[in-house]
């Protein structure tokens, strides 16, 4: 099963890499590309969010391990955690953003790579963080001003935060971070080398290409939907049925659809109400990133608790 997942993900990484190159060539030749934030939101709601829409099933599994019989306990805890993250972001946006970027770096690095690793060494956790940080650092490196604008959309108004970012950008600290991320990919690649680990470098160059040619929002949307989310969904499909991929996909879509639709409806309602106080693009940015943060934290915590208790 593990080798089968590795092979599928390698093929996925290769196809995604080709896609990034073909699209970048088209953009280079035409020198004209733009994507509305609403399109990015729709893609994230349809494809991106779905990879976490089986959390209720994982929650049921965790409660069974903990000998808790009421699913209402899980739903209540999950919803309260989501609300807590949103409230914390409104009250302390700068700290919330920094914590989110740190956790997101680790989350992206781990979920995009751990299927290739035979053992879960402690050192791997740090390497996952460095590898995943490329998703956060590349937009700032290639499109610093646009990335700063996004942070301002996310209620971050602390002037010292932006002065620190200016210092980091002007002193090549972003480049150092990208070099460290590159080295982490190399270390993960050479640990018990096998051909399927070329997925690490295919993903690395795909992220670089995306952020070089696209705006930060578009680059993140393509990465999040078509690399990160699909990869996680592949793992879930194999957990459901590791013998028949098509059957696993059918069951996955059936189980994921209700929460995906519910999340999409709530996000669109949020955009509607935020649009009364902010312009449409600003409202969409808030829903995408603050909304993702509110879902990412409980998703990561659930994965951690389930992994820990299964051991």
pLDDT one-digit tens code per residue, 230-255: 998 888 888 888 888 889 989 998 98
The number of folded domains in the chain is 1
- Neighbour tally for 113: CB within 10 Å: 24
pLDDT at site 126? 94
Residue predicted with more confidence, 174 or 232: 174
Q: Give CA separation, 228 vs 44, 106, 110, 159, in Å.
A: 11, 13, 10, 32
Distance CA 254, CA 275 (A): 32
Residue 221 lies in a domain: yes
Residue 34 lies in a domain: no
Residue 35 lies in a domain: no
Domain extent for 216:
2-29+42-310
pLDDT confidence bin for 32, thresholds 50/70/90: low
Residue 72 lies in a domain: yes
Residues 132, 137, 138, 140, Cα dihedral to 10°: 160
Model-level pTM greater than 0.95? no
First to last CA, the chain: 19
Residue 221 has pLDDT above 80, yes or no: yes
Residue 37 lies in a domain: no
């Amino acid at each position: 099963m593990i080798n089968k997942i590795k092979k599928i993900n390698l093929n996925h990484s290769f196809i995604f890499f080709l896609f990034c190159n073909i699209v970048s060539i088209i953009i280079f030749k035409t020198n004209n590309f733009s994507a509305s934030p609403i399109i990015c939101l729709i893609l994230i709601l349809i494809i991106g969010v779905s990879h976490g829409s089986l959390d209720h099933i994982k929650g049921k599994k965790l409660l069974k391990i903990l000998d808790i019989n009421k699913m209402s306990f899980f739903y209540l805890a999950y919803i309260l955690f989501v609300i807590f993250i949103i409230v914390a972001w409104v009250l302390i946006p700068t700290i919330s953003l920094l914590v989110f970027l740190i956790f997101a770096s680790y989350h992206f690095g781990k979920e995009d790579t751990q299927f290739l690793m035979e053992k879960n060494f402690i050192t791997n956790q740090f390497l996952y963080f460095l590898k995943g940080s490329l998703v956060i650092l590349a937009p700032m490196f290639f499109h610093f001003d646009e990335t700063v604008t996004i942070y301002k959309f996310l209620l971050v108004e602390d002037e010292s935060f932006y002065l620190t970012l200016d210092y980091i950008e002007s002193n090549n600290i972003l480049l150092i971070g990208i070099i460290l991320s590159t080295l982490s990919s190399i270390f993960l690649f050479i640990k018990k080398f096998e051909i399927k680990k070329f997925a690490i470098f295919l993903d690395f160059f795909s992220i670089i290409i995306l952020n070089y040619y696209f705006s930060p929002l578009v680059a993140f949307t393509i990465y999040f939907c078509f690399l990160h989310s699909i990869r996680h969904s592949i793992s879930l499909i194999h957990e459901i049925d590791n013998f028949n991929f098509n059957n696993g996909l059918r069951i996955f879509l059936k189980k994921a659809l209700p929460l995906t639709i519910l999340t999409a409806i709530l996000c669109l309602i949020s955009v509607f109400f935020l649009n009364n106080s902010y312009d449409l693009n600003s409202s969409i940015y808030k829903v995408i990133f603050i909304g993702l943060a509110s879902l990412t934290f409980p998703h990561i915590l659930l994965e951690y608790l389930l992994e820990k208790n299964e051991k």
